[in-house]
Structure 1
């Protein structure tokens, strides 16, 4: 009897171990299956896209671009991030912190060559995709100030743009061209939203903003405070161009902003899409192709989409082009 009981207990133990083993196998198989499901349902390639301040052009335009990529490139999900704009963005994409950025072409050139005050050494591990739209320098004051030229900014309170932005760097060059140093004015740097508020309440006399034209921030100021756009022309423009070789002339047409009835000449640069250098060639090819072939869809999200033109894609770009973008341009017969 005792022997029979022992055999019976041993059989129970063996069966228990077998079931436990099967249970472990079942758990493992379930885990593997769950992993495959997760990959198929959430397996999109996540790309981080650094843009600019929420009150500028980069952020809303970047959102419109991201939506078009997400809708037209299978397996890709681009998420936009607000950022401090050009200088910050180039640093972030070069460090691999983000995958795509918008930045001004002069800032990218400074970074690549390690020149200017913003870059102490060359940053070469990023690549250009193509020009997105022209960036227009607005130097804005209100009609109730006595500021009628850049030279009049001496002794005034100025918002030169957000530190670390292309606006700020370009503003410093323009002031330098006019012989105006940091001690010659009161600097109140800040975002475009800060500039709007400062001009409205009289906390600043003038503001610099590199934005698209027409600019919603300027329109907002002009709605309640008629504005004056300060021109950069003639010999002064030549001095600016010596310091900013990429600069070209742009006419801000009179009547676009309340208070500014006459045309004003200013400086324009280029907003360019840049990416991490190690993004796959086929991915960047598709990013390039979709951007230039779906401008109407981008324009539905932001009006600047209308200014994205393939024929301008390589204008003002001096840094290396990503092979994926170059493949697309070769197909289209577009060369520098």
Structure 2
């Protein structure tokens, strides 16, 4: 009888515990907003972009509004040091979504170049549009080719930035290094200000065109975009396959009357594997079902059909679910 009483008492305690758990007396596992174990609840989405003079920031503001309007999750665009810094922010869990270049995302995932450790939690949402490498100068500077940059004062991008790596690789196929220049590590805004006040001769700018900082410069100066010759484009792509041939179309900037051949990488959105499938599905759907609401000029290039081209890193399950529904597959 004593054993039976002990058994009944234990059973009653177990039943009471189950009732309390069902009523919300658990250990706090409700923080998950999706089906995945340990996924973060998301009631705010910060989008890490870049400097105010580039494309990421204004485009990020438009996307944040769309996400907030369509999902109800409060969203804002935040300025940052762009691609490499944004990947570090994803690694540390400091941001929910970030813009980056496809080449930088690949370096981060593999722990190469500026990344001493792999960014293992980064997952792709979508690629967006070409990020054109623009070598900006003035017509009076007399710089007609990449080789003419030798000995000049040139902004090659902020330290640790994707622009800096692009500059180094383009200089490399032309037989130059940053040591052959008077190199400066400046933001896009500071670069164009330097060209305007005569403290620098040219600047590498990796950004979707038209780029705000360059538009501002073109309003006051007769600017020129330095071309990259086809043979050098071929050499660059052979060595670094994530580049593609591109051009700055005629009329992109004031008094740039002819198209200029150059190269580009792709802009993309990344997130963390810890963000739930449901949230990223909703975010992806919000963006690609409302591209007509993207006010930035790059909105015309943002399409579901091309959103997995050049991805290079693992796709987030939420994004994959959306693109599977649309019949878009990752190459």
User: What is the TM-score when the length of structure 1 is the normalising length?
Assistant: 0.83
Structure 2's unaligned 5+ residue stretches are 1-40
Query: Is the CA contact 1:173–1:243 (under 8 Å) kept in the aligned structure 2?
Result: no
Distance 2:97 2:143 in 1: 39
In structure 2, the partner of 1:85 is: 82
In structure 1, the partner of 2:203 is: 207
Q: Aligned Cα RMSD in Å?
A: 1.5
Distance 1:161 1:91 in 2: 18
Q: Does 1:66 align with 2:64?
A: yes
Query: Is the CA contact 2:209–2:252 (under 8 Å) kept in the aligned structure 1?
Result: no
Cα deviation, residue 303, structure 1: 2.7
Cα deviation, residue 330, structure 1: 0.7
Distance 1:77 1:216 in 2: 26
In structure 2, the partner of 1:333 is: 327
More helix by share: 1
In structure 1, the partner of 2:189 is: 193
Query: Is the CA contact 2:53–2:211 (under 8 Å) kept in the aligned structure 1?
Result: no
Distance 2:316 2:287 in 1: 15
- The alignment partner of 2:87 has SS state of helix
Cα deviation, residue 53, structure 1: 0.5
Runs of 4 or more above 6 Å deviation: none
1:189-268 matched pairs, under 5 angstroms: 189-268=185-264
User: What is the TM-score when the length of structure 2 is the normalising length?
Assistant: 0.84
Query: Is the CA contact 1:143–1:259 (under 8 Å) kept in the aligned structure 2?
Result: no
Distance 2:208 2:265 in 1: 10
In structure 2, the partner of 1:113 is: 110
Cα deviation, residue 44, structure 1: 7.3
| Residue of 317, 326, 330 corresponding to 1:323 | 317
Distance 2:182 2:64 in 1: 38
Structure with higher Rg: it is 1
Cα deviation, residue 263, structure 1: 1.7
Query: Is the CA contact 1:161–1:189 (under 8 Å) kept in the aligned structure 2?
Result: yes
Structure 1's unaligned 5+ residue stretches are 1-42
Distance 1:303 1:71 in 2: 20
In structure 2, the partner of 1:130 is: 126
Q: Does 1:179 align with 2:175?
A: yes
